[in-house]
């Protein structure tokens, strides 16, 4: 149940909406009928995403912010609410690993920044949006994880620890906020052909290696991550909360 109109009348907030998976999620939510608040650091790219949303006949609101800055996030949520109304849907999409390092040589400031972006920031946004969702009578918080959180990988422990923590954060939010009608779920993608992994995709040998790790033998398309997000935001998932949904083509099967 991800077709046109399933999210009619609802307001969504998407972080990391300036490109890649975030842009496709924003477009997919708009295709399903939602108005969309767009958060990221690059305003010019956010405006491009906004054009996609408005081109589908939905309203868009752009809020430039650093998702690791609590004050900026609270201001961004207030800006979206003033423009579109209180949110029903929150999509924590922003994240990533900015460097590779084994644990013995890990620079702790880099560790802290990675955890802040990938684990702390989703809580910051969800907390900021919670009062509005309560006023709306409930809502859906959907966080984008990673299969890196399911497997220990040398050089990416900082990212893996942060992403694995999202499962317990999601379950904790689901437990604590369920009585408000707020559902919280985690989508866990494998490698996605979104531009974020171009350093792998541009190397034929590496691209083939990572494709073979998936039982389906290929990388995901961004639309294949966006579709579960729309589903979890919709009434079709009205009794799903605290769940982690692997969307990895069978990589960890």
Report, as residue numbers or ranges, the catalytic residues: 159
Q: What is the rounded CA–CA span in Å between residue 189 and residue 48?
A: 25
- Which ranges of 32-156 would DSSP assign to H, the alpha helix? 43-55, 70-84, 108-115, 121-135
* Structure tokens that stand for 11 in this block: 């307001």
Q: What is the rounded CA–CA span in Å between residue 104 and residue 146?
A: 23
* Structure tokens that stand for 93 in this block: 């999409």
Instruction: Count CB atoms within 10 A of the CB of residue 104.
Output: 5
Q: Residue 41 phi/psi, 5° resolution? A: -85, -25
Q: CA 135 → CA 54, 87, 88, 122, distances in Å?
A: 26, 9, 9, 20
For the purposes of burial, counting CB atoms within 10 Å of the CB of 197, is it exposed (0-12), middle (13-18) or buried (19 or more)?
middle
* Structure tokens that stand for 90 in this block: 């929150």
């Amino acid at each position: 149940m991800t077709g046109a109109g399933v999210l009619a009348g609802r307001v969504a907030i998407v972080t990391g909406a300036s490109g890649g998976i975030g842009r496709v999620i924003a477009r997919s939510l708009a295709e399903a009928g939602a108005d969309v608040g767009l958060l990221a650091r690059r305003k010019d790219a956010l405006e491009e995403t906004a054009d996609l949303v408005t081109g589908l006949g939905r309203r868009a609101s752009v809020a430039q912010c650093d998702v690791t800055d609590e004050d900026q996030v609270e201001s961004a949520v207030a800006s979206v609410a003033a423009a579109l109304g209180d949110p029903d849907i929150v999509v924590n999409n922003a994240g990533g690993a900015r460097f590779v390092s084994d644990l013995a040589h890990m620079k702790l400031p880099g560790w802290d920044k990675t955890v802040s972006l990938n684990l702390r920031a989703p809580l910051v946004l969800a907390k900021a949006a919670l009062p509005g969702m309560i006023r709306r009578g409930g809502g859906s918080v959907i966080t984008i994880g990673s299969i890196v959180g399911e497997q220990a990988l040398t050089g990416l422990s900082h990212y893996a620890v942060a992403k694995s923590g999202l499962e317990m954060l999601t379950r904790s939010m689901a437990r604590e906020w369920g009585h408000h009608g707020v559902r919280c779920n985690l989508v866990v993608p494998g490698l996605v052909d979104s531009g974020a992994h171009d350093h792998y995709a541009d190397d034929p040998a590496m691209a083939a290696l990572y494709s073979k790790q998936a039982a389906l033998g290929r990388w995901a398309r961004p639309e294949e991550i966006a579709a579960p997000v729309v589903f979890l935001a919709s009434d079709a998932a009205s009794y799903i909360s605290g769940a982690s949904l692997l969307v990895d083509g069978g990589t960890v099967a």
